[in-house]
Amino acid sequence: MHEMGIANAILEAVVTEATRLNGQHPSRVGVRIGELAAVDPEALHFCFDALVRGTDLEPLELDIELCPRKHRCPQCDEVFPVVDYFTECPRCGGLRTEFVSGDELELAFLEVDDQ
Protein backbone atom coordinates (compact mmCIF):
# COMPACT_ATOMS: atom_id res chain seq x y z
CA MET A 1 0.00 0.00 0.00
CA HIS A 2 1.91 3.06 -1.22
CA GLU A 3 -0.68 5.33 0.40
CA MET A 4 1.17 4.82 3.71
CA GLY A 5 4.34 6.23 2.15
CA ILE A 6 2.39 9.17 0.70
CA ALA A 7 0.73 9.87 4.06
CA ASN A 8 4.13 9.76 5.74
CA ALA A 9 5.59 12.19 3.17
CA ILE A 10 2.67 14.57 3.75
CA LEU A 11 3.28 14.46 7.50
CA GLU A 12 7.01 15.06 7.04
CA ALA A 13 6.20 18.18 5.00
CA VAL A 14 3.74 19.34 7.67
CA VAL A 15 6.31 18.87 10.44
CA THR A 16 8.95 20.73 8.43
CA GLU A 17 6.61 23.66 7.85
CA ALA A 18 5.31 23.66 11.44
CA THR A 19 8.89 23.83 12.71
CA ARG A 20 9.45 26.88 10.54
CA LEU A 21 6.30 28.51 11.99
CA ASN A 22 7.25 28.62 15.69
CA GLY A 23 4.30 28.67 18.06
CA GLN A 24 1.69 27.51 15.57
CA HIS A 25 0.02 24.11 15.45
CA PRO A 26 -1.03 22.59 12.10
CA SER A 27 -4.77 21.93 12.02
CA ARG A 28 -5.49 20.98 8.40
CA VAL A 29 -3.46 19.99 5.37
CA GLY A 30 -4.80 19.79 1.84
CA VAL A 31 -3.58 17.75 -1.10
CA ARG A 32 -4.57 17.58 -4.76
CA ILE A 33 -4.75 14.13 -6.29
CA GLY A 34 -5.34 13.52 -9.98
CA GLU A 35 -7.55 10.63 -11.02
CA LEU A 36 -4.56 9.09 -12.86
CA ALA A 37 -2.20 9.33 -9.86
CA ALA A 38 -3.12 5.79 -8.75
CA VAL A 39 -3.89 6.89 -5.19
CA ASP A 40 -6.91 5.58 -3.33
CA PRO A 41 -8.29 8.56 -1.36
CA GLU A 42 -9.96 6.35 1.27
CA ALA A 43 -6.76 4.39 1.85
CA LEU A 44 -4.78 7.64 2.07
CA HIS A 45 -7.22 8.99 4.70
CA PHE A 46 -6.96 5.75 6.66
CA CYS A 47 -3.14 5.76 6.61
CA PHE A 48 -2.95 9.47 7.43
CA ASP A 49 -5.30 9.10 10.41
CA ALA A 50 -3.34 6.08 11.66
CA LEU A 51 -0.04 7.99 11.51
CA VAL A 52 -1.47 11.10 13.23
CA ARG A 53 -3.28 9.23 16.03
CA GLY A 54 -1.49 9.56 19.36
CA THR A 55 1.06 12.14 18.14
CA ASP A 56 1.55 15.85 18.80
CA LEU A 57 -0.09 16.49 15.42
CA GLU A 58 -3.47 15.15 16.54
CA PRO A 59 -6.19 16.27 15.57
CA LEU A 60 -4.62 17.23 12.21
CA GLU A 61 -7.13 16.81 9.37
CA LEU A 62 -6.49 15.83 5.76
CA ASP A 63 -8.48 17.42 2.93
CA ILE A 64 -8.27 15.76 -0.48
CA GLU A 65 -9.19 17.53 -3.70
CA LEU A 66 -9.72 15.08 -6.55
CA CYS A 67 -8.61 16.47 -9.92
CA PRO A 68 -10.15 15.08 -13.11
CA ARG A 69 -8.16 14.14 -16.18
CA LYS A 70 -8.18 17.04 -18.62
CA HIS A 71 -7.09 17.46 -22.22
CA ARG A 72 -6.54 20.52 -24.41
CA CYS A 73 -7.37 20.80 -28.07
CA PRO A 74 -4.54 22.45 -30.03
CA GLN A 75 -6.99 23.44 -32.79
CA CYS A 76 -9.40 25.55 -30.71
CA ASP A 77 -7.54 25.72 -27.34
CA GLU A 78 -10.50 24.18 -25.45
CA VAL A 79 -9.57 22.54 -22.13
CA PHE A 80 -12.06 19.84 -21.12
CA PRO A 81 -12.45 16.93 -18.70
CA VAL A 82 -12.03 13.45 -20.17
CA VAL A 83 -14.99 11.18 -19.44
CA ASP A 84 -14.87 7.44 -20.12
CA TYR A 85 -11.58 7.83 -22.06
CA PHE A 86 -13.35 9.96 -24.67
CA THR A 87 -10.67 12.47 -25.69
CA GLU A 88 -12.33 14.11 -28.69
CA CYS A 89 -12.70 17.89 -28.32
CA PRO A 90 -16.30 18.73 -27.36
CA ARG A 91 -16.08 22.14 -29.03
CA CYS A 92 -14.61 21.45 -32.49
CA GLY A 93 -14.45 17.65 -32.67
CA GLY A 94 -10.65 17.61 -32.91
CA LEU A 95 -9.17 14.16 -32.40
CA ARG A 96 -5.56 15.05 -31.54
CA THR A 97 -6.01 16.45 -28.04
CA GLU A 98 -3.20 16.76 -25.49
CA PHE A 99 -3.10 15.66 -21.87
CA VAL A 100 -2.81 18.66 -19.51
CA SER A 101 -3.76 17.45 -16.02
CA GLY A 102 -5.01 14.55 -13.96
CA ASP A 103 -1.81 13.02 -12.60
CA GLU A 104 -1.24 15.56 -9.81
CA LEU A 105 -0.09 14.58 -6.35
CA GLU A 106 0.75 17.79 -4.54
CA LEU A 107 0.38 19.66 -1.30
CA ALA A 108 -2.20 22.41 -1.72
CA PHE A 109 -2.29 24.16 1.65
CA LEU A 110 -1.51 24.01 5.35
CA GLU A 111 -3.72 25.69 7.95
CA VAL A 112 -2.30 26.45 11.39
CA ASP A 113 -3.73 27.57 14.71
CA ASP A 114 -1.96 29.99 17.03
CA GLN A 115 -1.00 28.40 20.32
Confidence band for 112, pLDDT divided at 50, 70 and 90: very high
- CATH number belonging to domain 3-68+102-114: 3.30.2320.50
pTM for this one?
0.87
Position 23 pLDDT exceeds 80 = no
3 within 8 A of 42, measured Cβ to Cβ: no
Closest CA to 31 of 46, 41, 23: 41
In degrees to the nearest 10, what's the CA dihedral of 62, 68, 73, 78?
-80
- Residue 7 binned pLDDT confidence (cut-offs 50, 70, 90): very high
Mean local confidence (pLDDT), 29-54: 97
- Locate the domains of the chain by residue range: 3-68+102-114
- Rounded Cα distance between 91 and 89, Å, is 5
Per-residue confidence band for 107, with pLDDT thresholds at 50, 70 and 90:
very high
Report how far residue 105's alpha carbon sits from residue 23's, in angstroms, rounded to the nearest whole number: 29
Q: pLDDT-derived band of residue 115, with 50, 70 and 90 as boundaries?
A: low
Q: What is the pLDDT of residue 30?
A: 98
Residue 78 in this model has a pLDDT that exceeds 80: yes
Residue 88 has pLDDT above 70, yes or no: yes
The pairing of beta strand 105-114 with beta strand 24-34:
antiparallel
Q: What is the DSSP letter of 95?
A: S
* pLDDT, averaged across the chain: 95
* Type and span of the H or E element at 101: strand 98-101
Closest by Cα among 38, 85, 32, 92 to 62: 32
